[in-house]
Amino acid sequence: MAMAKREKGLAVRPVPAPVPEAPTPSATPVSATAPTSARSVKWGDLEDAAGGLERPLLRQRGSNTTSQMAVVGTNVCPIESLDYEIVENDVYKQDWRSRGRIQIFQYQVLKWLMALLVGSFVGLVGFFNNIAVENIAGYKLLLTSNLMRQNRNLEAFLLYMACNAVLAGSAAAVCAYLAPAAAGSGIPEVKAYLNGVDAHSILAPSTLFVKIIGSILGVSAGFMLGKEGPMVHTGACIAAMLGQGGSRRYGLTWNWIRYFKNDLDRRDLITCGAAAGVTAAFRAPVGGVLFALEEATTWWRSALLWRTFSTTAVSAIVLRSLIEYCRSGNCGLFGKGGLIMFDVSSRVTTYTATDIAAVILLGILGGLLGALFNHFVDRILRRYGVINEKGAPYKILMTVFISLVTSCCSFGLSSLSPCVPCPPELAPGKCPTIGRNGNYKKFWCPAGHYNALASLFFNTNDDAIRNLFSGGTDSEFGVYTLLTFFIGVYTLGLITYGVAVPSGLFIPVILSGASFGRLVGKVFGSGLDTGLFAIVGAASFLGGTMRMTVSVCVILLELTNDLLLLPLIMLVLLVSKTVADCFNKGVYEQIVRMKGLPFLEVHADACMRSLVASDVLSGPVITFSSVERVGSVVNTLRRTGHNGFPVIEEEPFAPAPELCGLVLRSHLIVLLNGRTFTRAPVKTGAAEVFRKLNPFDFAKVGSSGKAMEVDELRLTEEEMDMYVDLHPITNRSPYTVVENMSLAKAAVLFRDLGLRHMCVVPRTPGRPPVLGILTRHDFMPEYIRGLFENVLRE
């Protein structure tokens, strides 16, 4: 029989070094019928009489080095799986029996109300982020420009560098000391959560606070990063906070709020939050829905489509209303933009066969450079992990160092760029621009001249993208300017991602793609506007790095308001993704794997095709009798970290041992805390339990709550010798598979049903009723290859 295991992370995790798994304490099986080995089934026993199948010889190792840890943000923390399966026990049935029509109506209204509240709050946070970044970064650039107008260039450079270093150091400090889980974009962690992986503090209120503040400070510090990825994580955190299902600490315990105290409803709400985060970042409500469908969530259904669409619509309305308010000048330097961030719809988009050939070439190059970007991101993050392991001071020092490098590059490269005369057709007020945003930055050029590189480097990232996307400016940026900016942005984007601040990859990828697209358009000499080539180039890089197609296409269309570009964007996305897929996976998939998050893929790994379910079980199993001694339950809970235990029905309650169901650790602790004990092993039934407990007592706490531990029970010696009936909290219909089922088939079933535990039962009678439990950890390729030396590799 196999051990009912606690969910574990991946073994191969280079940043930081894997922590070897401690052997599970050898708790004495409670069931007297428990066998001692799970590996009692051999291939010869499974062959049919014809003997037509042959199995490759698989040699099992004695132990494995699997880790229960994963990297979240920049810290290592324990991980578990989420309980997405509905536990159909007496508690669940009593809960639904106790709900009248009014309560059911309240539950349905609550789901929609929560979704709309998430959209509103995410819209407010997105607006606040934009205001803060535009004003802090704008004020910093204004101070620097004023010094340069007075020919105090050295002082301007030192001020610019000092402001960036202080902002970067502050962002790293709050992140390293208050919430390390807030580092990075957060999209890999949200993807893993929606796949069923729970990690410490990933959606905690402290993480939300640091994500907002750290993102504002990091983007304002001039880093080559964006706030789009962090906004997805922020939306998920807001949804998790609203979906806590009430709080005993603050007196929020009404029944209609507590209906949300389960992982299934929280998962749907967090999906809505992630979609609203994309809306708040790009002002693209439809793109947010498609991002949640294509990239974020693992389980999708039509009801969730309606709720995410409503959430993003509310978020867009809130943003639009606040932006209109800011147009009157009430928000400082913010308020010039609208819901469409980079409106290029005034241009007439016409293209020929030559332009299509250039777009295909751009897609091929974007796929190659995107795959190369992912390769370098993986290598650099592994190196940064060594520094992050040394503690918070080293994280802050590394962040400040990267800030100084970024400041020197942006200011220094702009200084080396030659001054260019302003186009004669432009009015004097438009070229050069002094002390405000615009395409033609003066920097320290003489009157009537502008600095092309400063128009890109010495600006906020949003304004740099707007300048690259702008039409009718074919002569503004030369080949040298575009090539220098592309190399600088591509390199800075690589070395910046991984520092201990909330950082996203969308902005550096869009800037790299836009500059490269303009460069290709300029070299190719096409009739298509170079600003449109910049948009197509951004699409090619997004497809090459993130491997998203539909959502990126719609996001770019909503950003630019140019529907005529749809065929070109679709073409370049298909080409770039196809080319990049030949080399590696998308950047978020790579980061999920590198962090050690046990993510279940759509298709089973090749190494599972030659194995059956019983091959990956480990023993001995730890089971409970349906009526068990309290002391045995408590000792088992103390000596193991398992979250699920098979319950065996034995005499006198059954003529022969049979699988009664599965019981969760959290439910066992609540039941023991209710102290519905008897002095003899007899069935008490659900009625006795509900005299002291109610169904909501068994509900799961949220990400910011703390579940009761077994050591908090304070049971007496007399109570330890008594018995407890497990029937009321046992899931009588757990999902089971036969021991000879293909492991690949079991993996697909496990993922599609969103399970945490899957029982393995024997195929022949007369054997123990359960052989073991499969968890997410058992389907990880690294774990399987750790068990078998000669298993098939990819």
Give the CATH number for residue 762: 3.10.580.10
Residue 177 has a CB neighbour count (10 Å cut-off) of 14
Return the structure tokens found at 548.
């998203």
- Answer left, alpha or beta for residue 196, where phi above 0 means left and psi between -120 and 50 means alpha: left
pLDDT at 113: 92
- Sign, CA dihedral 510-513-514-515, equals positive
Strands 644-649 and 69-72: unpaired
Alpha carbon 193 to its chain's center: 7
Is 392 within a domain? Answer: no
Q: Are 574 and 653 contained in the same domain?
A: no
| Per-residue confidence (pLDDT) for residue 255, from 0 to 100 | 62
* Cα within 13 Å of Cα(226), Cβ side: 25
On whether both 179 and 123 belong to a single domain, the answer is: yes
Rounded to an integer, what is the distance from CA 688 to the centroid of its chain?
43
Confidence of residue 604 (pLDDT cuts 50, 70, 90): confident
> Domain containing 699: what range?
607-788
Residues near 361 by beta carbon (within 8 Å), at least 6 away in sequence: 520, 524
Q: Which of 496, 482, 591 is nearest to 537 (CA)?
A: 482
Task: Choose the final residue of a domain: 552, 571, 595.
Answer: 595
Sheet holding 627-629, edge to edge: 627-629, 723-725, 677-678
pTM: 0.87
d(CA 310, CA 301): 15
Query: Token pair for residue 392?
Result: 């918070």
**What is the residue-wise DSSP string for 180-220?**
GGGSB-SHHHHHHHHHTEEETTTT-HHHHHHHHHHHHHHHH
The 10s digit of each residue's pLDDT in 702-759 is 665 677 888 888 889 999 999 999 999 999 999 999 999 999 999 999 999 999 999 9
Residue 759 lies in a domain: yes
Residues 254 and 365 in one domain: no
Cα–Cα distance for residue pair 517/501, rounded to 1 Å? 29
Which residues does 693 contact at the CB level (< 8 Å), separation at least 6? Answer: 670, 671, 674, 676
Mean pLDDT of all residues in 404-421: 87
Q: What percent of the chain has pLDDT over 90?
A: 44
Question: Among candidates 415, 434, 433, which has minimal Cα distance to 484?
Answer: 415
What pLDDT, on the 0 to 100 scale, is given for residue 349? 63
The per-residue pLDDT for 332 is 72
Q: State residue 101's pLDDT score.
A: 82
Q: Kind of pairing, strands 736-738 and 758-761?
A: parallel
Measured CA to CA, the distance from residue 775 to residue 29 in angstroms comes to 19
> For position 344, what pLDDT does the model report?
64
Per-residue pLDDT band at 563 (split at 50, 70, 90): confident
With beta carbons less than 8 A apart as the criterion, state whether 472 and 440 touch: no
Are residue 587 and residue 692 in the same domain, yes or no?
no
Quick check: is 25 in a domain?
no
Gap between the Cα atoms of 213 and 221, Å rounded: 12
Measure Cα distances from 360 to 133, 520, 522, 570, 571 in Å: 36, 11, 16, 11, 7
For residue 566, being part of any structural domain is answered with yes
Same domain flag for 146 and 284:
yes
Q: What is the pLDDT of residue 366?
A: 95
End residue of a domain, out of 564, 595, 626: 595
pLDDT for 438: 61
Judge if 245 and 132 occupy the same domain. yes
Q: Do 122 and 230 belong to one domain?
A: yes
Residue 12, pLDDT above cutoff 80:
no
Q: Has residue 162 got a pLDDT over 60?
A: yes
pLDDT at site 311: 96
Kindly state the average pLDDT of the residues 612-627.
Answer: 88
* Domain identity same for 566 and 519: yes
The answer to the question of residue 429 being in a domain is yes
| Mean confidence (pLDDT) of the chain | 83
Let me know whether 618 and 548 are in one domain: no
Q: What is the pLDDT of residue 152?
A: 86
Please identify, among 571, 595, 619, the residue that sits at the C-terminal boundary of a domain.
Answer: 595
Burial class (CB in 10 A: 0-12, 13-18, 19+), 198: middle
Which percentage of the chain shows pLDDT scores above 70? 85
Select from 26, 15, 23, 24 the least CA-distant residue to 69: 15
pLDDT over 90 (residue 493): yes
Higher pLDDT, 106 or 53: 106
What is residue 690's predicted lDDT score, i.e. its pLDDT?
85
**pLDDT score for 794:** 47
Query: In angstroms, what is the C-alpha Rg of the chain?
Result: 29
Place of tokens 């100084």: 404
Name the domain count of the chain: 3
33 or 273: whose pLDDT is higher?
273
Which H, E and C letters describe 268-284, residue by residue?
Answer: HHHHHHHHHHHHHHHCC
In a domain, residue 514? The reply is: yes
Least trusted range by pLDDT, from 109-123, 129-143, 304-318? 129-143
Q: Inform me whether the pLDDT recorded for 203 exceeds 50.
A: yes
The answer to the question of residue 405 being in a domain is no
Q: How far apart are CA 70 and CA 9, in angstroms?
A: 6
pLDDT exceeds cutoff 50 at 16: no
Distance of alpha carbon 570 from the chain centroid: 26
209 shares a domain with 230: yes
> CA-CA distance, 758 to 737, in Å (whole number)?
7
Residue-level pLDDT at 761: 94
Provide mean pLDDT across the span 347-370.
85
Asked whether residue 589 falls in the same domain as residue 616, the answer is no
pLDDT for 450: 80
DSSP run (H or E) holding 419: strand 419-421
Helix (H, G, I), strand (E, B) or coil at 70: strand
List, edge to edge, every strand of the sheet that includes 197-199: 69-72, 75-81, 197-199
Residue 269: what pLDDT?
93
CATH number, residue 528:
1.10.3080.10
pLDDT, position 542: 95
- Same domain, yes or no: 440 and 312: no
Give the Cα separation of 84 and 597 in Å (integer): 17
Question: How much of the chain is helix, strand and coil, in % rounded to 5?
Answer: 55, 10, 40
Q: Could you read off the pLDDT of 39-89 as tens digits, one per residue?
A: 333 223 333 333 333 444 344 444 443 446 788 877 788 888 888 888 888
* Residue 339 placed within a domain: no
